[in-house]
Amino acid sequence: MESNFSKVIDSYEVKTLLHSFYSLMGIKCLIKYREKTFYKHPEFRPLTDFGFKKYDENIVKQIKENRKYGIFKSKTGLMYFGVPIYIDNNTVAIMFTSPILYQKLNLKYLSGEISDFKAHQNDIVDVVKHIPCFSKEVIAKIIEYFCNISYIINKNIRTYSKYSELLESKKRLESNYNTMVKMAYYDELTGLGNCNYLKTEMKKSIESYPERSFILFHVELSNFKNVNDILGYKYGDRLLQKIGNTIRKLYSNDIVSRNYGNEFLILKKLENHKINLHTEAKYLLHSLCDVWDLDDIEVPISVSIGMTVYPKDGKDATVMMRNADIALNKAKSNGKNSYIMFENYMYDEILIKSEMEKELRKAIKNEEFELYYQPQVEVCNNKVVGFEALIRWNSSKLGWVMPGEFISLAEETGIITSIGEWVFEKACFQIMQWKNKGYDYDFISINVSPVQIRKNGFVDMIKRVIKKTGVDTNLIELEITESVVMESLERSCGVIDELKRMGIRIALDDFGSGYSSLNYLKSLPINTIKIDKTFIDGICKYSYENIIVDSIINLAHIMKLDVVAEGVESEEQFISLREKRCNKIQGYYFGKPMPCKEAEKMLEFTSLR
């Protein structure tokens, strides 16, 4: 039987089938027969194209449970399949695919799965970016196609010499193949090509005319989700069709595709070198940022555009797609209705960020964090009455990294939840230590990130740590920013109320830097406001800031709130704040954030006075 099997696998037909499948879909195959690799696509590389025993075994298990195929799906978005090959009803071989991506790569989980890949993260990211990506519907077709190939091979084995029987199944395979290809390259909704189509066209263009320059636009409709949420999918679909049509008309000689959901890609040849790319971008922006009429409902739409130029920015299709995506994300962070041209530093930034994320995930375990303490001084008597705890990171790989550089990354990646818990616990232990030594101070302020508060379980974490450390809650003040409160007044008030019932004080941090309205302060159960440094910087001149700070302090006092001025750097500022009857100041003028030993010396000194 083995020789039959080998003949079938080696047959011109099966090989052609698997090869053409690869050239169109970019998926390679591997056939494992009795623990041995029996057939392998010439470019199948074991490390990056999988073939991990652990996952393969799981696929085999699924097939043994009487399924037509087995599937491995990772959180990152990678997946691959296996289909059985039988002899006399026994599964003797499995045909595996190389990995494909389910819709979009979720880099967030990559480092978690990295140990399975046994390779360096950046190498993996590079490889992963070459992996073909398909929608759910296309993946279903691919599976169907694969099951059909296995069916053909199985039939082939049984009726090796009777070719007539194969004809019918071959026909079925062909039609299956055609639908699959159509689905893999076209977007049904808009009639445009999809991202695979554009990528293939770009590859062809680069291969055939490597000298020919082109620009790739990545367009995203910014407020599209609102259309779907408020008006429903019917309107969302109509809008995408209308916009798709408009882009197609604007770029009738170029290649246009719809990417995922609300994204479009345009590949425009740059035959005329005098084309001004900024004018091009503005033209596209103004054509799409408009009020769109959908059956008498007017929908305002804004867009962000990322742009990248071949061959200046990248030499292959995958890199070009990546660059356009990076530029788009930059444009998005600049606010609505903007476009950005890709520049190399943007990619470097992403590499640095991904390196930092990797290190950040290990930082707690490796004990790389430390809490520094910055004194808060009572203005009327110059006495240190407390400290703000500020985190410091001494990374074994990156050296000292300031919170301004890593807190937002920790927030984006969710790592802030564990960092926040570490900070709170560490500070509570310190509070207890200082209390046990008999030092005299009011309380320690601890920063809390908006991401922590938004997550369920925040109050439980606070309770757990209080119990564990036995800390006296009167000695804790939590600093929250106004953005948290503004986003969801009701929920934040609930959380704040609960914390206050436990005896914890609440300060509103960075007051003045955001939406700040003294009006909403009335409805907030807080104790302290901390005036942002940007206001303090300007108080010594006859300025807008001077008047504002004066009225903030007055109003806060009427509302019986404590006022702390942040970032006080000079005697002049200190005097001005004293005249304004500000309660406390914090800043380099009295002391920078310092390690706990130094803070302790300061406490020792003030407690003696």
Give the footprint of ligand C2E on this chain (CB under 6 A): 374, 390-391, 402-404, 407, 420, 423, 447-449, 509-510, 566-569, 586-588, 593
Could you give the CA distance from residue 284 to residue 282 in angstroms, rounded to a whole number? 5
Under 8 Å between Cβ of 514 and 481: yes
CB of 184 to ligand C2E, least distance (A): 45
Show contacts with Ca ion in window 563-602 (CB under 5 A).
566
Q: At residue 531, what is the residue type?
A: I
By beta-carbon proximity to ligand C2E, the closer residue of 42 and 404 is 404
CB of 395 to Ca ion, least distance (A): 22
By beta-carbon proximity to ligand C2E, the closer residue of 448 and 508 is 448
Give, in degrees to the nearest 5, the angle at Cα 561 between 543 and 529. 55
Residue 447 near Ca ion by CB under 5 A: yes
CB of 150 to ligand C2E, least distance (A): 53
Tokens 């990797």 belong to residue: 358
Show contacts with Ca ion in window 235-274 (CB under 5 A).
none
Residue 313 near Ca ion by CB under 5 A: no
In the list 49, 220, 357, 509, the residue contacting Ca ion (rule: CB under 5 A) is 509
Under 8 Å between Cβ of 299 and 235: yes
The helix or strand, by DSSP H or E, that contains position 212, with its residue range, turns out to be none
Q: Which residues touch 289 (CB under 8 Å, ≥6 apart)?
A: 301, 302, 303, 337
With CA atoms as reference, report the closest residue to 9 among 166, 160, 142: 160
- DSSP β-ladder status, 399-401 and 383-395: antiparallel
CB of 411 to ligand C2E, least distance (A): 8
Our measurement of the distance from residue 578's CA atom to the centroid of its chain's CA atoms, rounded to an integer in Å, reads 45
Could you give the CA distance from residue 493 to residue 506 in angstroms, rounded to a whole number? 11
CB of 429 to ligand C2E, least distance (A): 14
By beta-carbon proximity to ligand C2E, the closer residue of 262 and 586 is 586
**Residue 403's binding partner out of Ca ion, ligand C2E, none, with CB under 5 to 8 Å set by partner kind:** ligand C2E
By beta-carbon proximity to ligand C2E, the closer residue of 325 and 566 is 566
Residue 359 near Ca ion by CB under 5 A: no
Tokens 């679909």 belong to residue: 237
**Residue 99's binding partner out of ligand C2E, Ca ion, none, with CB under 5 to 8 Å set by partner kind:** none
By beta-carbon proximity to ligand C2E, the closer residue of 407 and 485 is 407
Residue 482 near Ca ion by CB under 5 A: no
By beta-carbon proximity to ligand C2E, the closer residue of 209 and 588 is 588
By beta-carbon proximity to Ca ion, the closer residue of 183 and 536 is 536
By beta-carbon proximity to ligand C2E, the closer residue of 108 and 392 is 392
**Residue 423's binding partner out of Ca ion, ligand C2E, none, with CB under 5 to 8 Å set by partner kind:** ligand C2E
224-227, long-range: CB < 8 A, 24+ apart: 224/261, 224/262, 224/301, 225/262, 227/299, 227/301
**Residue 407's binding partner out of ligand C2E, Ca ion, none, with CB under 5 to 8 Å set by partner kind:** ligand C2E
115-121, long-range: CB < 8 A, 24+ apart: 116/52, 116/54, 117/47, 117/48, 118/47, 119/47, 119/48, 121/354, 121/358
CB of 481 to Ca ion, least distance (A): 8
User: SS3 of 205, please?
Assistant: helix
Residue 430 near Ca ion by CB under 5 A: no
> Across-strand partners of 394?
400
By beta-carbon proximity to Ca ion, the closer residue of 395 and 447 is 447
**Residue 593's binding partner out of ligand C2E, Ca ion, none, with CB under 5 to 8 Å set by partner kind:** ligand C2E
**Residue 77's binding partner out of Ca ion, ligand C2E, none, with CB under 5 to 8 Å set by partner kind:** none
350 to each of 255, 344, 353, 400, how far by Cα in Å? 28, 10, 5, 19
Tokens linked to 63? 């097939």
By beta-carbon proximity to ligand C2E, the closer residue of 504 and 568 is 568
Count the residues of the shown chain that bind Ca ion, applying the rule CB under 5 A. 5
CB of 597 to ligand C2E, least distance (A): 18
Could you give the CA distance from residue 128 to residue 122 in angstroms, rounded to a whole number? 10
CB of 369 to ligand C2E, least distance (A): 9
Could you give the CA distance from residue 488 to residue 269 in angstroms, rounded to a whole number? 48
Residue 510 near Ca ion by CB under 5 A: yes
Under 8 Å between Cβ of 137 and 71: no
**Residue 567's binding partner out of Ca ion, ligand C2E, none, with CB under 5 to 8 Å set by partner kind:** ligand C2E
By beta-carbon proximity to ligand C2E, the closer residue of 556 and 564 is 564
Q: Which residues bind Ca ion (CB under 5 A)?
A: 447, 479, 509-510, 566
